[in-house]
Amino acid sequence: MTDTTVISTEGEAGFGDYVALLKPRVMSLVVFTALVGLLVAPVPVHPVVGFAAILFIAIGGGASGALNMWWDADIDRIMTRTQKRPIPSGKVGADEALALGLALSGFSVVMLGLAANVAAGALLAFTIFFYVVIYTMWLKRWTPQNIVIGGAAGAFPPMIGWAVSTGGISVESVLMFLLTFMWTPPHFWALALFMKSDYNAAGVPMLTVTHGHDATRRHILVYTVLLAPVGLALAFTSIGGPATLLAAVVLNLMFLHGAWTIFRRSTEQALADGYAAEKRVFRFSLLYLFAMFGALLVDATLRGLGWDVMPWL
Ligand code: HEM
Ligand SMILES: CC(C)=CCC/C(C)=C/CC/C(C)=C/COP(=O)(O)OP(=O)(O)O
């Protein structure tokens, strides 16, 4: 198949197509975790600097999404889930996406460095590099552990937010990193269980394709178990409190219950109800991360109001 047959232009690119190139829905959670990292840090940030920093992190995240779509256009064309993306649908040219991704990456890194500090700018640059080069160009098509290692890219944003406020790294920001890092495998593999045929067709070595569904179910359970102590540990740090503790207990129990349910099912059972449990766990994973970071924000607010939010310390 030649490029000319694949790129069937279905019309001029509109503003919406360029926005779609930035993966806005996924990046919304990335930006939220960065915002929480920034707000819960012990050093207050001027609201204008904070707002600008979050904007530049969002632009950097979007730029990395555009570069990911530029590199992955060949496999996005094959998978039904991704066929309508701006490049495979012919709305935006691959070279345009590359130019936009590079320009916005450079812009966001420099501007974050200037608006906040060098540490935050450097962390953003490293995150973009990690997602685009380490995950997208290298790990994704090479190893079924792609998600585990590559997931680190999506886990850096709260550390970037923390660095905006403090100019550095701490136990708290590393734990926020670990929360997203441990969360990413069950988040993605639950989805991969009901997406198998697509990755298979595209030749991406996702765990579901290389090791099968039973191994994937085991991996989901293991990572959900490993994830549980991270949220609990956060509750007992200087940024924790009762909301984080409550959220960690309730959400981890629910996530563990979902992972256990998936683990106990056979492929026949999953097929019979259209992967209902797997779909539930995937949706729940989004709520989990949003609510865990939301709980940190609640504790920070309580602390700001002068409440003794950590009577156990
Ligand atoms: C290597 C790591 C990851 C992989 C492979 C992955 C994969 C996916 C896939 C395939 C979807 C399906 C929907 C779509 O195509 O947009 C999805 C949805 C989503 N992911 Fe992830 N994800 C990863 C990490 C993350 C991280 C770190 C975050 C945020 C902190 C995140 C947030 C989301 C959100 C918010 C959605 C729902 C988007 C919607 O509403 O359409 N993901 N993810
Ligand atoms: C601030 C900053 C630079 C943030 C980057 C955040 C980041 C790396 C998020 C990961 C999100 C994501 C959609 C991974 C999907 O993998 P995929 O690309 O394999 O998914 P696809 O199959 O949907 O393209």
The best mutation among 19, 21, 22, 26 to test binding of ligand 1, ranked by most ligand atoms within 8 Å of the C-beta, falls on 26
Cβ–ligand 1 contact at 191 (below 6 Å): yes
Question: Which ipTM value was assigned to this complex?
Answer: 0.95
pTM of the model: 0.94
202 CB less than 6 Å from ligand 1? no
User: Which residue ranges make up each domain of the chain?
Assistant: 12-168, 170-313
Residue-wise pLDDT for 213-261, tens only, equals 999 999 999 999 999 999 999 999 999 999 999 999 999 999 999 999 9
Rounded Cα distance between 156 and 147, Å, is 14
Tens of pLDDT, residue by residue over 46-89, are 999 999 999 999 999 999 999 999 999 999 999 999 999 999 99
Decide whether any atom of ligand 1 lies within 6 Å of the 61 Cβ: no
Q: How confident is the model at residue 312 (pLDDT cuts 50, 70, 90)?
A: low
Structure confidence by residue, pLDDT tens digits, 131-177: 999 999 999 999 999 999 999 999 999 999 999 999 999 999 999 99
- Nearest C-alpha to atom 4 of ligand 1 is from which residue? 188
Kindly report the CATH class assigned to 12-168: mainly alpha
112 C-beta closer than 6 A to ligand 1: no
* Ligand having the closest approach to the CA of 60: 2
